[in-house]
Amino acid sequence: MATITYRDALNQALREEMERDPNVFLMGEEVGVYQGAYKVSRGLLEAFGEHRVVDTPIAELSFAGIGVGAAMVGMRPVIEFMTWNFALLAIDQVVNSAAKMLYMSGGQIPVPIVFRGPGGAALQLAAQHSQAFESWFAHIPGLRVVAPATPYDAKGLLKSAIRDDNPVVFLEGEMLYNLKGEVPEEEYTIPLGEADVKREGNDVTIVCHSKTVAVAHKAADRLSSQLGVEAEIVDLRTIRPLDVETIVASVRKTNRCVIVEEGWPFCGVGAQVVDEIQRAAFDDLDAPVLRVTQADVPMPYSKKLERLTKPNPDQVVDAVKQVSYLDGN
């Protein structure tokens, strides 16, 4: 296996799928000459030319719509948003066109398109540029929603997303692009809708995705070394479709669960996970499920306040202590 960055894993996935299928093309702001705002598309313009790596104006609604139209006539567009915060300008095309066209056409017109780009908080980008939109898009029938946490998952899931005949919202962690990990040199894909047990444990299940997988690992290390509590980490990888079977199997084994997510608490991804657990594994629970989320406020610009707002390992450890009745109460 080669050790590469999350960024390079995405680049490999794009390159391989563009080589495999001439109908795949990339479109977005600065994806060509500048090679991507985060250099995910580095080298693709030279390899495939300006008809398949298309620089656009700063007009998310228009180029998202072009992508939807291209997908309707048989192409497989990959539409890059410089950040998912800017995708709010294109939400009509994502939600009202891409997500609904197959249904409204009576199954006649699929829309095989991937909308991808960085989401969530970075460092001091403040309220308008630090938002995690997983739950927004997962709410919409017709969309698949993917949020990989590692280079291995990023490559395998992006390849599957490009091959899927449904519109896929592919959310890349903005702080993950430099993360390194092992990626096979031979071709592989990861099916959409399959969670991954990142760490085995018997005492508590920590459900997470994207950037919070790293938070969960730090908390699990601390729980093991300080308290002897062995946490099982379940990385959702795909938010919709949700792998309920893997989540429930883990909870039935550990009898306790903490959910960690970057989004806000109200109507978040974790709320859906809690609902699935209480319907399928209520009698297996030895404590209520707890959630660790971003604070229910717009993201502050101040570095210290931003740090307090994001979910962190200390909060996860405290939540595990509560569900394990180790907090003294």
Ordered strands of the 114-119 beta sheet: 53-55, 24-28, 76-80, 114-119, 168-173, 144-146, 238-240
Residue 68 has a CB neighbour count (10 Å cut-off) of 23
Tell me which residues are annotated as active site: 60, 129
Do 64 and 94 contact (CB within 8 A), yes or no? yes
Contacts of 153 (CB under 8 A, 6+ apart): 190, 196, 235, 237
**Spatial separation of the C-alpha atoms in residues 121 and 263, rounded to whole Å:** 10
Crossing angle of the two packed helices 212-227 and 313-323, in degrees rounded to 10: 60
CA angle 318, 205, 142 (to 5 degrees): 115
**Spatial separation of the C-alpha atoms in residues 71 and 92, rounded to whole Å:** 16
Please give the structure tokens belonging to residue 208.
């997470």
